[in-house]
Homo-oligomer: A and B are copies of this chain.
Amino acid sequence: MRAVQGRNPMTAEGRYVAETSFHVRYAETDAMGIVHHASYVVYLEEGRSTYARQRGHSYAEFEATGHALAVTEVHARYLHAARYDQRLTVRCWLAEIRSRTLTFEYEIVDDAGLVLVSARTQHICIDTQGKVCTLPETWRSWANS
């Protein structure tokens, strides 16, 4: 799983990469003085949100059409710690898209470009009854770029 190791800058090659930047909030730190590891899982999600928003079909719109993306897997590697007030950027790209599933990959970097966390998340498309269903065509078209 190369992307997760964050050692291969080629993984995102030729793919659309959405970038989201923000300051670390105090509530996201813990008694160790650094950002709590679960906070990054929320950052990843915000990276996906930005990705969908930038591609022209927000996740809010996705839900409005009766779909939901359930998270089936999260795999994150923590390389360096971040602290309160630091400005971070989540880089998110679509690693794989199938008829009913999606895989996103991510790097969370600091202002100097150092990779703090690399991650991969997998998702399955479900309908309002929780049944697995096909991804909308608009989302599937993202596979081509």
In the bound complex, how far is the Cα of B68 from the Cα of A33, in angstroms? 11
A70-89 vs B: 1/0 string, CB under 8 Å? 11111111100101110000
* Of A6-14, A39-47, A92-100, A101-109, the one touching chain B: A39-47
Assess the B74–A60 pair: CB atoms within 8 A: no
A21-62 vs B: 1/0 string, CB under 8 Å? 011011101111110111001100110010001000011100
Assess the A85–B72 pair: CB atoms within 8 A: no
In the bound complex, how far is the Cα of B77 from the Cα of A104, in angstroms? 15
Q: A84 — which chain B residues lie within 8 A by C-beta?
A: 31, 59-60, 63
Assess the B49–A41 pair: CB atoms within 8 A: no
With A41-B41, A84-B60 given, is the CB distance from A27 to B25 under 8 Å? no
Q: A36 — which chain B residues lie within 8 A by C-beta?
A: 26-27
Q: A83 — which chain B residues lie within 8 A by C-beta?
A: 31, 60
Q: A32 — which chain B residues lie within 8 A by C-beta?
A: 68, 70
Q: A46 — which chain B residues lie within 8 A by C-beta?
A: 23, 25
Q: A37 — which chain B residues lie within 8 A by C-beta?
A: 41, 71, 74
With A59-B85, A74-B75, A75-B75 given, is the CB distance from A30 to B22 under 8 Å? no
| Closest chain B residue to A126, Cβ basis | B32
Binding site for B on A (CB under 8 A): 22-23, 25-27, 29-34, 36-38, 41-42, 45-46, 49, 53, 58-60, 63, 68, 70-78, 81, 83-85, 130
